[in-house]
Amino acid sequence: MRAMQVVELGQPLELREVEKPTPLAGEVLVKVHACGLNFGDTLVIKGTYQEKPQLPATVGMELCGTIEALGAGVEGLHVGQKVGAYSGFGGLADYAAIPAEICVPVPDEMDSLDAAAFLVAYGTSHVALDYKAQLQPGERLLVLGASGGVGLTAVEVGKIMGAEVIACARGAAKLELCKAAGADHLICSETEDIRDVVKSLGGADVVYDPIGGDQFKAAMRACNPEARLLPLGFASGDVPQIPANHLLVKNLTVIGFYWGGYVRVKPKVLTDSFATLIDWYSAGKIKPHVSAVHALEDANAALDLLRTRKATGKVVVKISAG
């Protein structure tokens, strides 16, 4: 089968012919229809992600496909069933053998491109805002990087949860996308002072930050007393150092959040979240914004859209029909 693999850290992926996997006990073999790309994939390729695979390694954190075979002991799933999964690795290939417990049945009304763009982005935002930050109706939510893959879903999820949403992004076109997703207020990070604008709107109660760097520092200074800050990525390349005395003065809470970690330590958090999100999708409340679709052999070009921050919403690699 075909697989796009990291052979050497820091180098482009290579399209290689590898052996088709056989599902072990507790696993299913999935024929992959589509793989959603994430900024974390670019970090895996660089060797700077939290989890480092043994090389050569097939990347691709989330996928949608059809089950072709069941490993021993698998119950509740069947051959021919369409599923989505946050696999961590292995999505950029014709087939993937993945644990059955992380598979989420995909409803008939959800196509494979949507399903492959769904789990990480919406799952990250929903667990962050609901389970971790406990965002309440009427609170003011500041979303940094609001036009990106996870940022745009945070705008949508925040609105569904009843928050007043401030979206911060670069340029008029990206801000229009945020407005269409339901943002109440818009901030251009290129031309406006985040702290001044947020404070003029009444301050932030929750900050959702996949960017880091100076934007995090500005957002922290615009927080209301007892605000919660969620650093969940550092797309700027700058991991901010947080002065504890600033937290003390306003009783701020900084909540560390790594969505993928729940796969191992508390998977029910993710499966409960997915059930809610799929209900929202079926009810027409949310729909992934897929801005680019590439073929498997063009995965490097697709990843470049994330590295250069040219993508809005999600970038998906289509691997087979389904």
pLDDT of 268 reads: 83
DSSP 8-class letter at 242: P
Residue 81 CA to residue 68 CA, distance in Å, equals 8
CATH of 121-260, one of 3.90.226.10, 3.40.50.1370, 3.40.50.720, 3.30.1490.190: 3.40.50.720
pLDDT tens per residue across span 149-183: 889 999 999 999 999 999 999 999 999 999 999 99
**Is this model's pTM higher than 0.85 or not?**
no
Domains 2-118+288-318 and 121-260 share a fold: no
State the average pLDDT for the chain: 93
Does residue 322 surpass a pLDDT of 80?
A: no
Angle at 120 between CA 27 and CA 278, to 5 degrees: 85
Phi/psi zone of residue 315: left (φ > 0), alpha (ψ -120 to 50 degrees), beta? beta
- Indicate whether 136 pLDDT > 90: yes
Helices 119-126 & 267-282 angle (0-180, nearest 10): 110
Give the model's confidence band at 321: pLDDT under 50 very low, under 70 low, under 90 confident, else very high: confident
- Domain extent listing, the chain: 2-118+288-318, 121-260
- In this structure, the number of other CB atoms found within 10 A of the CB of residue 54 comes to 5
- Which own/partner pairs from 165-171 qualify as long-range (CB within 8 Å, at least 24 positions apart)? 165/141, 166/140, 166/141, 166/142, 166/197, 166/198, 166/201, 166/204, 167/143, 168/142, 168/143, 168/144, 168/194, 168/215, 169/145, 170/309
- Residue-level pLDDT at 48: 87
User: How far is residue 117 CA from its own chain's centroid?
Assistant: 8
Exposed/middle/buried for 273, CB within 10 Å: 0-12, 13-18, 19+?
buried
CATH of region 2-118+288-318: 3.90.180.10
Query: Who's near 79: CB < 8 A, 6+ residues apart?
Result: 67, 68, 69, 70
